[in-house]
């Protein structure tokens, strides 16, 4: 015989549980609630067992209630006058919380194994030559080791306006047209490169980058020559516009990238690297100056220290048939760049010259003279702990905690540990249970092991979760499968595709040869359960490493009462 209209839906709901689209809603009929309307409410929540054949949770179930609200009715949350419906919602909520706390079984899913990863990396052939007799040609990188201390805060501003204020006979409009016409972009950016063997040794400089079609190479190098020889720092009104735009961009970036600011600030007292989150404050102060010309007059002084041959090394990436033309153009460019007349004033900083590795004995993929890097160290720097709370008009928090560990040489276990803690503990505790938009841990090139949370409704509770994550790792409460998944995550970034234009860039900037990358790869393969526990205890345990904490967010009563915090 034919089934009743509501029967298939009743049987489906009885077998599969409450339909998700009916959960946490009920029907409220206009006028006084009757037993029938109350029963309809319970039926929509799936409170009946055995398709209505058994004893209902609420009496008087109406099969037609499964059809949804009819005309003149509205769907609302369960009212307190229907305690059975509300009780079920509470029970289901607690059950959801319990299920979220259980580890998920992923054994039924297809998975990539560590054994599927290539054990070796392909080598990139690099040829190092000398342009104009002295400048290594391999981006162009200009060292800042001779720059006076009072000019360093203005380097980011210098980089942002160098390619926008005009140069030579070109005003800023003509310069922008030529850049658009002849190149795919020309940029300058401040760059801080930590040394891989010592935490307190680093290289500061400005990285110039550009790319173009082969036929436009002479025009692009001519534009760079004019910027180096005769940059225009006279358009005061347009300079004020650029400062205002930069300040607004930095201010607007704080809500979206607050966790990055928090991480930088947390590590500020742990390493002497020239990274300052105070650029927003500096740019706002310059934006409000009545005489902005005093800032504009500082830029030519920076030019004397940056745009000169003595502090420069260059990198060229081209097709083999175009390499000879590229070498000639770079040679011509370097010859036209003047030498620095500024003398190095030691002060409290020291300069250490260190050649980049040229490969192991017998290596053929790096040929020519070695690139010489001028590193800076501050003998007076002493790392110390600081906890800072920046009061900002946000409804949520951005939290950062940095731990000073060791140089990046041999970072395999720490990298895997960061991915392991992120995926297996921090994401669950802070993202899923705590409600933050994101959370995790990572290891930086400067040897800082950093915890962070992004758009987090909690603050001190998140810091407690960071401590619990360390205890979890020290206790070794993770499986071999967890370790393998963390390794795969690390290799996903290590083996990420490298554009042809960026090949060899790690050697040029960081001094990382393919041999060093292969050693790092073998260290990642060798990471074990015991090594992860040992690294957790050695670097992250209480009292093991100097820590820095930073919090960006609204007022916090607990932090305000804690004298160990600095509130700004």
Give the span between the Cα atoms of 404 and 450, in whole angstroms.
9
| Cβ-based neighbours of 70, under 8 Å, separated by 6 or more | none
Q: Where does residue 500 rank: exposed (0-12), middle (13-18), buried (19+ CB within 10 A)?
A: exposed
Judge if 367 and 482 occupy the same domain.
no
- Do both 68 and 29 map to the same domain? yes
- How far apart, in whole angstroms, are the C-alpha atoms of residue 293 and residue 333? 31
- Does position 366 have pLDDT exceeding 50, yes or no? yes
Q: Which residue is it, tokens 């009462």?
A: 561
Same domain? 402 vs 474: yes
Going by pLDDT thresholds of 50, 70 and 90, the confidence category of residue 278 is: low
What pLDDT band is residue 370 in, cutting at 50, 70 and 90?
low
pLDDT of residue 3: 45
Q: Residue 399: what pLDDT?
A: 96
Q: How confident is the model at residue 277 (pLDDT cuts 50, 70, 90)?
A: low
Whether residues 396 and 486 fall in one domain: yes
Mean pLDDT over residues 403-432, rounded? 91
Residue 255 lies in a domain: no
Q: Which residue has the higher pLDDT, 452 or 340?
A: 452
Report the relative pairing of strands 186-194 and 201-210 from DSSP bridges.
antiparallel
Q: For position 465, what pLDDT does the model report?
A: 95
Contacts of 295 (CB under 8 A, 6+ apart): 154, 157, 243, 286, 289
Q: Tally the residues of the chain.
A: 568
20 and 86 together in one domain: yes
Cα separation, 48 vs 42, in Å, equals: 8
- Span 305-322, average pLDDT: 82
Asked whether the beta carbons of 282 and 141 are under 8 A apart, the reply is no
Residue found under tokens 């994401």? 427
Separation of alpha carbons 533 and 122, rounded Å: 32
pLDDT for position 119: 86
In a domain, 245, yes or no: no
State the pLDDT at residue 368: 53
Tell me whether residue 295 is in a domain. Answer: no
- Which CA distances in Å does 470 have to 450, 466, 476? 12, 7, 10
Distance CA 545, CA 537 (A): 10
The structural domain count of the chain equals: 3
> Is 44 a residue whose pLDDT tops 60?
no
Rg (CA), the chain: 31
Q: Which of 30-44, 412-426, 487-501 has the lowest mean pLDDT?
A: 30-44
Do 26 and 78 reside in the same domain of the chain?
A: yes
Q: What CATH number is associated with residue 202?
A: 3.30.830.10
Q: What is the pTM of this model?
A: 0.75
pLDDT bracket for residue 287 (50, 70, 90) = confident
What residue numbers bound the domain in which 167 lies? 126-234+301-377
Which of 7-16, 93-102, 350-359 is predicted with the least confidence, judged by mean pLDDT?
7-16
Q: Over pLDDT 70: what percentage of the chain?
A: 77
Note whether 399 and 452 are within 8 A (CB): yes
Answer yes or no: is pLDDT of 518 > 60: yes
Return the higher-pLDDT residue of 412 and 37. Answer: 412
Residues 6 or more apart whose Cβ sits within 8 Å of residue 522: 119
Going by pLDDT thresholds of 50, 70 and 90, the confidence category of residue 129 is low
Same domain? 206 vs 91: no
pLDDT of res. 340:
62
Distance from the first to the final alpha carbon of the chain: 77
User: Are 336 and 390 members of one domain?
Assistant: no
Which token pair is 356?
């980049």
Place 17 in a pLDDT band, splitting at 50, 70 and 90: very low
Asked if 349 and 404 sit in the same domain, the reply is: no
What's the mean pLDDT in 234-246?
89
The DSSP result for 292-334, as a single string, is THHHHTTHHHHHHHHSSGGGEEE-----GGGHHHHHHHHHHHH
pLDDT value for 500: 80
pLDDT computed for residue 109 by the predictor: 81
**28 bridge partner residues:** 74
Question: Is-contact 124 514, C-beta < 8 A?
Answer: yes
Residue 489 has pLDDT above 90, yes or no: yes
CB 251 within 8 A of CB 284: yes
- Alpha-carbon distance 257 to 454, whole Å? 8
Q: What is the pLDDT of residues 192-227, one digit of tens each?
A: 888 878 888 888 889 999 988 888 999 999 999 999
Q: Classify residue 274: in a domain, yes or no.
A: no
pLDDT-based confidence at residue 151 (cuts at 50, 70, 90): confident
Tell me, yes or no, whether 525 lies in a domain. Answer: yes
C-alpha–C-alpha distance, residues 233 and 380, integer Å: 36
Contacts 24+ apart (CB under 8 A), 419-423: 419/486, 419/489, 419/490, 420/473, 420/478, 420/482, 420/483, 420/486, 420/532, 421/469, 421/472, 421/473, 423/482, 423/485, 423/486, 423/489
Q: Give the distance from CA 311 to its chain's centroid.
A: 30
Is 277 within the bounds of a domain? Answer: no
For the segment 437-464, the average pLDDT, to the nearest whole number, is 93
Which of 176-180, 373-377, 382-386 is most confident?
176-180
State the DSSP code for 278: T
Contact assessment for residue 361 and residue 515, using Cβ atoms and an 8 Å cutoff: no
Q: How confident is the model at residue 363 (pLDDT cuts 50, 70, 90)?
A: very low
Count the alpha carbons within 13 Å of 307 in the hemisphere toward its beta carbon. 23
Question: Is the pLDDT reported for residue 534 higher than 90?
Answer: yes
Are residues 561 and 501 part of one domain?
yes
**What pLDDT, on a 0 to 100 scale, did the predictor assign at position 559?**
93
- Looking only at the bridges linking them, the beta strands covering 386-391 and 547-553 are parallel
213 in a domain, yes or no?
Answer: yes
- Helices first, then strands: H and E counts in the chain: 19, 18
Q: Does one domain contain both 371 and 417?
A: no
Domain boundary among 325, 359, 377: 377
* 444 assigned to some structural domain: yes
Strands (E), 392-473: 397-404, 438-443, 448-456
Looking at per-residue confidence, does 53 or 298 come out higher?
298
Q: 373 and 389, same structural domain?
A: no
Can you spell out the DSSP letters for 221-250?
HHHHHHHHH-B----HHHHHHHHHHHHHHH
pLDDT, position 292: 85
- Could you tell me the pLDDT band of residue 381, with boundaries at 50, 70 and 90? confident
C-alpha pair distances (Å), 359 with each of 87, 131, 409, 485, 515: 69, 22, 16, 32, 6
Question: How confident is the prediction for the chain on average, in pLDDT?
Answer: 79
Which among 335, 368, 313 is positioned nearest to 145, based on CA atoms?
313
Mean pLDDT, residues 127-148: 67
CA 154/CA 345 separation, integer angstroms: 19
Which residue carries 């900083």 as its tokens? Answer: 349
Average pLDDT over every residue of 36-63: 43
How far is it, in rounded angstroms, from Cα 219 to Cα 206? 22
Dmax (CA) of the chain: 101
Helix 279-287 / helix 236-256 crossing angle, nearest 10 deg: 140
Which band of pLDDT confidence, cut at 50, 70 and 90, is reported for residue 57? very low
Pairing assessment for the beta strands 201-210 and 565-567 based on DSSP bridges? unpaired
């Amino acid at each position: 015989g034919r089934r009743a209209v509501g029967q298939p839906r009743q049987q489906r709901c009885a077998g599969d549980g409450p339909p998700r689209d009916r959960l946490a809603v009920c029907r409220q009929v206009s006028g006084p609630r009757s037993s029938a309307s109350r029963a309809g409410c319970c039926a929509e929540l799936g409170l009946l067992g055995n398709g209505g054949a058994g004893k209902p949770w609420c009496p008087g179930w109406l099969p037609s209630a499964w059809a949804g609200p009819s005309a003149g009715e509205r769907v609302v949350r369960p009212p307190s006058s229907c305690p059975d419906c509300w009780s079920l919602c509470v029970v289901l909520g607690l059950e959801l919380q319990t299920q979220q706390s259980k580890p998920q079984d992923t054994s039924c899913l297809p998975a990539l194994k560590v054994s599927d990863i290539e054990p070796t990396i392909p080598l990139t052939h690099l040829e190092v030559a000398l342009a104009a007799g002295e400048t290594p040609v391999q981006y162009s990188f200009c060292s800042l080791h001779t720059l006076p201390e009072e000019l360093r805060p203005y380097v980011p501003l210098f980089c942002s306006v160098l390619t926008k204020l005009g140069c030579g006979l070109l005003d800023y409009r003509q310069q922008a047209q030529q850049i658009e016409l002849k190149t795919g972009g020309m940029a300058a950016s401040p760059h801080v490169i930590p040394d891989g063997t010592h935490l307190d040794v680093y290289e500061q400089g400005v990285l110039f980058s550009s790319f173009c079609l082969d036929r436009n190479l002479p025009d692009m190098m001519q534009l760079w020559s004019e910027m180096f020889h005769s940059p225009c720092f006279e358009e005061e009104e347009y300079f004020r516009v650029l400062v205002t735009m930069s300040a607004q961009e930095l201010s607007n970036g704080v809500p979206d990238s607050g966790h990055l600011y928090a991480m930088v600030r947390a590590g500020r007292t742990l390493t002497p690297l020239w990274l300052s989150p105070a650029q927003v404050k500096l740019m706002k102060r310059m934006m409000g100056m009545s005489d902005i010309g005093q800032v504009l007059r500082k830029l030519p002084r920076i030019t004397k220290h940056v745009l000169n041959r003595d502090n420069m090394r260059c990198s060229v990436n081209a097709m083999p048939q175009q390499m000879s033309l590229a070498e000639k153009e770079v040679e011509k460019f370097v010859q036209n760049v003047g030498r620095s007349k500024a003398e190095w004033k030691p002060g409290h900083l020291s300069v250490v010259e260190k050649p980049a590795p040229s490969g192991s004995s017998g290596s053929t993929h790096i040929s020519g003279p070695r690139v010489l890097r001028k590193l800076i160290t501050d003998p007076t720097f002493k790392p110390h702990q600081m906890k800072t709370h920046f009061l900002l008009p946000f409804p949520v928090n951005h939290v950062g905690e940095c731990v000073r560990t060791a140089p990046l040489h041999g970072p395999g276990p720490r990298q895997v540990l960061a991915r392991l803690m992120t995926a297996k503990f921090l994401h669950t505790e802070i993202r899923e249970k705590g409600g933050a938009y994101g959370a995790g841990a990572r290891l930086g090139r400067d040897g800082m092991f950093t915890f962070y949370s992004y758009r987090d409704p909690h603050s001190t509770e998140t810091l407690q979760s960071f401590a619990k994550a360390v205890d979890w790792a020290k206790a070794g409460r993770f499986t071999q499968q967890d370790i393998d998944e963390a390794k795969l995550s690390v290799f996903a970034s290590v083996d990420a595709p490298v554009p042809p234009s960026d090949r060899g860039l790690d050697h040029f900037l960081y001094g990382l040869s393919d041999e060093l990358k292969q050693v790092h790869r073998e260290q990642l393969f060798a990471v074990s359960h015991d090594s992860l526990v040992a690294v957790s205890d050695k670097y992250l345990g209480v009292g093991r490493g100097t820590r820095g904490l930073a919090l960006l967010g609204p007022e916090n009563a607990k932090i305000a009462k804690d004298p160990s915090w600095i509130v700004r």
